Amino acid sequence: MVISSFLLAACERVIQVDIKDQPLRFVVEGVLTDDSTCRVRLSRTSNFYDTINLVGVTGAKITIAEDGKTPVVLNASNNRGEYRAAFTGRPGRTYQLRIEYTDATMTHVFTASSTMPQKVTLDSLYVSERVFLGKTRMMAAIRFKDPPAPGNAYRYVQRVDGELETTVFVTKDDLINGRTVVDELLIFNDDYTLKNATS
């Protein structure tokens, strides 16, 4: 009888990746709703090794206008590049956003146009329970009916105890067009945990 034994050894190799800095770019996030929410965040990208993901840009001139109407000015609401205005959007109307910002080298101008889609209302909002990675987790669940016309997109924003939860929930109606949709908003960050209100 011959007994063979093999010794398996793992070796590690350190790989140094030369990640070069790239020119910083501007990032614009605009939100307009039919419930008087009108805000824009203007920021800059960061390089790979920076500790701050997005750096807010202050001192910009930002306006929003409905077709054929006088533009409304958005004012800075803090020093993190967030701007707000008392402005209400209306479904079916088209809006133009204009941003002008001057830095040490030049004046940057950004424009965008978007038509507000028709409102899709939630049928229900409730809490469901699922086992995920060995843990029982509670999560918000929503149910709604996607309109029959194609081209709708959805973004869910979730707050836990009034604090914005950072998971990005987005979906398009490519596979759900005209159907009843049930989505569960699973939170991967343990800092934000839903709890049963009766416990």
Query: Can you read off the two tokens belonging to residue 110?
Result: 């950004």
Here the tokens at position 111 are 């424009």
Q: Span 26-115: which CATH code?
A: 2.60.40.3780
With bands split at pLDDT 50, 70 and 90, how would you rate the model's confidence at 198?
very low
> CA distances (Å), 106 to each of 36, 65, 102, 113, 119, in order?
33, 25, 6, 24, 40
At 197 the pLDDT is: 47
Smallest CA-to-CA distance from 169 within 198, 131, 126, 140 is with 140
Mean pLDDT, the chain, whole residue set: 84
CA 57 to chain centre: 18
On the question of pLDDT at 10 being above 70, the answer is no
**Ordered DSSP codes for 68-129:** TS--EEEEE-SSSSEEE------TT-EEEEEEEEE-SS-EEEEEEEEEPPPP--EEEEEEEE
Q: What is the pLDDT of residues 131-181, one digit of tens each?
A: 877 888 888 899 999 999 888 888 888 887 778 777 878 888 998 999 999
Residues of the chain with CATH 2.60.40.3780: 26-115
